[in-house]
Chains A and B, each alone.
Chain A
Amino acid sequence: MNSSDIAFIVDDDPIHQFGMKVLLKKVKFSNEVLVFHNGQEALDALIRLMDKGKKLPSIIFLDLNMPIKDGWGFLDDFVKIPHQNREKVVVYVVSSSINPSDQEKAKNYEVVSDYIIKPIDENQLTKVLEEMGLINSL
C-alpha cells in the first residue's frame, strides 16, 4: 500500500456515496477518497491531475446511470487518455442495473476489471482491494 494511492467514487446517489465511504473506512482503506457526481466531474478531475503531473487514482468505482455524463460516456472519454498515463488505473463498474446487456457492454471495455451489482458489501470490497494490494489482509 502506497500512501499516494487514491480512490474515485463516481455516483450521483448521495446514499451510495455515503455507503461507499463508510465501507472503505471499515475495510481500512485509509487513503484519499474523492467523490464525483457524474462522469464529467470525474473526467475534469483526471485532466486536472494529469495537467499537474500528479498520479492518477489507482481505482475508480463507476456508476452507470448519472446525469450530464453517464458511466458509458465516462468510459468512452477515459480510454482516449494516453495509455501510459492510465495503465495503472483500475475501473470497477458499480451499478444497480442487473440488465445482462449492461454487463455484456461493460466487458467490452478493457479498462473495466469487473462489474459489481449494488449493493456492494464489505467482503466484495475487501477482496477487490486486497487483490490490488491496496489494503492488507489480516
Chain B
Amino acid sequence: MNTEKSLFHHTSIPFAVIDQEKSFVDFSKQWLNTFGLDASIIGQNFFDSMPELPEELKLDINYCLEGIKHRSDSKRIVQENGNAVWYDWKVSLLNDDQNIAPNALIILEDVTHKRREEHLLEKSQQVARIGGWEIDLIKNTIYWSNMTKEIHEVPREYVPQLETGISFYKEGYSRDTITQLVNEGIELGNKWDTELQIVTAKGNILWVRAIGEPEMLNGKCVRIVGTFQDIDKRKKAQLQLLNTEESLKGTLENSSIGMALVARNGKFMDVNTSLCNSLGYTKDKLLSLTFQDITHPEDLEIDLRLLSELIKGKRSTYQIEKRYFNKDQQLVYVILTVTAARNIDGEISHFISQIVDISSRIKAEKKLKGLLELTTNQNNSLMNFAHIVSHNLRSHAANLTMISEFLTDESLDEDIRKDSLVMLGKASQGLNDTISHLNEVVQVKLETDQKLKSVQLRPLVHKVLVDIQALIEENKVIIDTDVPENIQVRGVMAYLESIILNLVTNAIKYKDLNKKTSLVSIKAVEKDETVVLSVSDNGLGIDLDKFGEKLFGMYKTFHGNEDARGIGLFITKNQIESMGGRITVSSQPGVGTTFEVTLLKNQQS
C-alpha cells in the first residue's frame, strides 16, 4: 500500500469497497471499528460479514453495481436482538476502468445516537409545547414551526405574515408589550423573554412564553430567531396560586381577629393589624418579639406544653384562654387557637395563631360580678331591713293591740288598766324609737353617693372625747389616744364622728366591773392606701363564735345591758361601708374587744 492509500485508510469515515461478487476489496480502519470486524474480512462476502442491514441498503448496492452512479438514504432497522439502529449511507459506483466490471464504494454510518437526540428534541418540544419561529428581515419572510402553528391553532399549511404574527397577541397589554419588544429588538438588538397572552385562530386565549433573539449585522438587525411556548396551564395555576395567596394575605391582614404566623421558636414571623391593635405594638416591634415575651407567666406553661404536643403530633390544633401583656404592661385577655403549618416534606414549618381579644368581655364580666356583689350586698341590706320592719315594727304593733284591748276590757281591775296606760306610753315610745332608727339607716343608704371629703382624724377624735367627758369621768375610764396629727381620711365628717362616738361609748358601756381599771385605746395608722382606726378596750368582751355573724345586725344586743339598743353597730357598719371602708372585730370574753375600722386614705397631691 502506498502512503496515499494508507492515509485514506486512516480517515474517520467508515467506508468499504466491494466487487461484483459483493466481496470486500478494501475498507477503512473506521469501518472495522464501527462494525467490530478485523482485516480478515478481505475477500469475504459483504453481507455475510456485516450485521443485519436495512433492505434498502442492499438494493442500493445492487443498483450501483449494475451501473447506477450514486445512491444514498437513511433508514432505521430493528435488529434480531431488538436494538434499533439508524444507518445513513452513500453508495457510489467506482468505475476507473471501463473494461473492468465496476466496484462499489459504500460509506455506512451508524447514526442511531444522533437521530435519537434529534428525535428526543422534537418529542420534547412537542411535549413542552415549544415552537420555533424566525423572521428574516432581509427577505422579509417569516417562518413558524409546526408547534408554533399548533399553538396558534392554525393549520399546517398556514403561511404567517410579518404583521399577522403580532396581531395574534391579545389586544391591550400583551400586544403593546410585544410590539415594543420587537421594535426594540430590531432597532437596538435587545433580546426578550416575556409571558403574554395570545388569542388563537379559534378564539382561545392562551398564555405563552415568547423568547426572541435578534441577530445584528453591522448594527442592523437581519434576523430574529425565537421560541414560542404554550404555558397556559402553568400560568393559570400560578395566577390562581397568587390569587389564593393574595386573598389569604388579604384575609389575614383585614381580619378583625388577630392573626400571626409564629416560628417554631416562638418568634412572630408575620402579624396582622388587628393583633397589633390588641397589643398596642407596632408590627416591626412585634416581629422582634416572641410570644413568650408577652405571655403572662402563669399562662406560659400550658401554652408551651400544648405547643410541644402539637410539634410531637399528638394534636393538630389547640385552643386556650390566656393573657398577654400589651405595650403598657396591661393585661390583654384572648382566646388563642394554634394550628401547625407544614412544609412540603410534612414537617412543621411554623404555626398559625388566631387571637380573639376578649378583654372587653372579661372587663364586662368583672363589672357584672362587681354589680352582682353590690346587688347582693344591697339585697342583704334589704333583707335586714325587711326583717327589721317585720319583726321590730310588728312587735310594737302587737304590744299596742294587746294593751289597747286591756284598756277597753272592763272586766279587768282598775290597777291593771292603769298599768296598761303606762305600758301604752312605753309601747308607743318604742314604736317611735324604732321608726327613728329606721330613718337613720335609710339616711345612711340615701347618702352613699354623697361626695367624700378630706377629714382630719385627730381633731375629730379630740372633739368626741370632749363631748363625752362626763361619761368618761363617771365611769372612771382611762382613755389613751395615738392618732398622728397629719392623718387624713376620705369620708363624711358626720359619719366619722358618729362612728368614733359609737365605738368609744360602746367600749365604756361594756367595761368589765371586775377589773381595777378600765382602759380604752384609740389608735390610727396609715396602711398602704388606707387608714386603720382601732378602738380597743379591756371590757367584757364578746363571744364571737356565738355572736360573730350577728354582731353588726340590727337590734342585736348580747349583754342584756340596760342601755343596749342594738342599733349602734348596725348604723356604724352602714356608715363605714358607705364611705368605702370596712369594720372588723376581734374579741375574747373577759379580756376585751378591738374594733378595727379601715377607711380610705386621703391622697395628698
> How many chain B residues have a CB neighbour from A under 8 Å?
31
Within 8 A of A (CB), among B387-418: 387, 390-391, 394-395, 397-399, 401-403, 405-406, 409, 411-412, 416
Minimal beta-carbon separation of A75 from chain B (angstroms): 15
Residue pair B403, A65 in contact (C-beta under 8 Å): no
Given A26-B412, A96-B391, A118-B394, are A67 and B560 neighbors across the interface (CB < 8 Å)?
yes
Given A15-B423, A18-B423, A68-B558, are A26 and B399 neighbors across the interface (CB < 8 Å)?
no
Chain B minimum-CB-distance residue to A63? B395
Name the contact of A119 in the complex, choosing from B398, B419, B558 (C-beta under 8 A): B398
Q: Would you call B555 an interface residue if the criterion is a C-beta within 8 Å of the partner chain's C-beta atoms? A: yes
Q: Would you call B476 an interface residue if the criterion is a C-beta within 8 Å of the partner chain's C-beta atoms? A: no
Residue pair B412, A67 in contact (C-beta under 8 Å): no
Given A15-B399, A38-B560, A96-B395, are A22 and B426 neighbors across the interface (CB < 8 Å)?
no
Residue pair A65, B391 in contact (C-beta under 8 Å): yes
Chain B minimum-CB-distance residue to A65? B391
Main secondary structure of the interface of B (DSSP, over half): helix
Q: Would you call A14 an interface residue if the criterion is a C-beta within 8 Å of the partner chain's C-beta atoms? A: yes
Q: Would you call B559 an interface residue if the criterion is a C-beta within 8 Å of the partner chain's C-beta atoms? A: yes
Task: Give the complex CA separation of A22 and B564 in angstroms.
Answer: 27
Name the contact of B394 in the complex, choosing from A15, A22, A26, A97 (C-beta under 8 A): A97
Minimal beta-carbon separation of B335 from chain A (angstroms): 44
Minimal beta-carbon separation of A10 from chain B (angstroms): 13
Most B CB contacts (10 A, CB to CB) among A37, A68, A120 go to A68
Task: Give the complex CA separation of A86 and B391 in angstroms.
Answer: 30
Q: Which residues does chain B contribute within 8 Å of A19, judged by CB atoms?
A: 399, 402-403, 406, 423
Q: Which residues does chain B contribute within 8 Å of A68, judged by CB atoms?
A: 558-560
Task: Give the complex CA separation of A67 and B564 in angstroms.
Answer: 10
Task: Give the complex CA separation of A45 and B426 in angstroms.
Answer: 28
Minimal beta-carbon separation of B385 from chain A (angstroms): 13
Q: Would you call B557 an interface residue if the criterion is a C-beta within 8 Å of the partner chain's C-beta atoms? A: yes
Q: Would you call A55 an interface residue if the criterion is a C-beta within 8 Å of the partner chain's C-beta atoms? A: no
Minimal beta-carbon separation of A64 from chain B (angstroms): 9
Q: Which residues does chain A contribute within 8 Å of B405, judged by CB atoms?
A: 119, 121
Minimal beta-carbon separation of B292 from chain A (angstroms): 56
Minimal beta-carbon separation of B418 from chain A (angstroms): 12
Residue pair B560, A26 in contact (C-beta under 8 Å): no
Residue pair B402, A119 in contact (C-beta under 8 Å): yes
Residue pair B391, A97 in contact (C-beta under 8 Å): yes
Encode contact with A along B525-567: 1 for CB under 8 Å, 0 otherwise: 0000000000000000000000000000001111110001010
Task: Give the complex CA separation of A26 and B556 in angstroms.
Answer: 33
Chain A minimum-CB-distance residue to B557? A67
Q: Would you call B427 an interface residue if the criterion is a C-beta within 8 Å of the partner chain's C-beta atoms? A: yes
Encode contact with B along A96-120: 1 for CB under 8 Å, 0 otherwise: 1111000000000000000001111
Task: Give the complex CA separation of A120 and B426 in angstroms.
Answer: 19
Q: Which residues does chain B contribute within 8 Å of A37, judged by CB atoms?
A: 560
Q: Which residues does chain A contribute within 8 Å of B555, judged by CB atoms?
A: 65
Residue pair A97, B390 in contact (C-beta under 8 Å): yes
Q: Which residues does chain A contribute within 8 Å of B403, judged by CB atoms?
A: 15, 19
Task: Give the complex CA separation of A34 and B586 in angstroms.
Answer: 37
Given A97-B390, A119-B398, are A22 and B406 neighbors across the interface (CB < 8 Å)?
yes
Minimal beta-carbon separation of B431 from chain A (angstroms): 11
Within 8 A of B (CB), among A47-102: 65, 67-68, 96-99
Q: Would you call A130 an interface residue if the criterion is a C-beta within 8 Å of the partner chain's C-beta atoms? A: no
17 more CB-based (< 8 A) A-B contacts, given A13-B395, A18-B419: A14-B426, A15-B430, A19-B423, A22-B416, A26-B412, A37-B560, A65-B391, A65-B395, A65-B555, A67-B558, A68-B558, A96-B398, A98-B394, A118-B398, A118-B399, A118-B402, A119-B405
Closest 9 CB pairs of A and B: A118-B398, A96-B395, A119-B402, A119-B398, A67-B557, A96-B394, A15-B399, A19-B402, A119-B401
Chain A residues in the interface with B (C-beta under 8 A): 13-16, 18-19, 22, 26, 37-38, 65, 67-68, 96-99, 117-121
| Pairs A–B under 8 Å by Cβ, sample size 15 | A13-B395, A15-B423, A15-B430, A18-B420, A19-B402, A22-B416, A22-B420, A26-B411, A37-B560, A65-B395, A68-B559, A96-B391, A97-B391, A117-B398, A118-B395
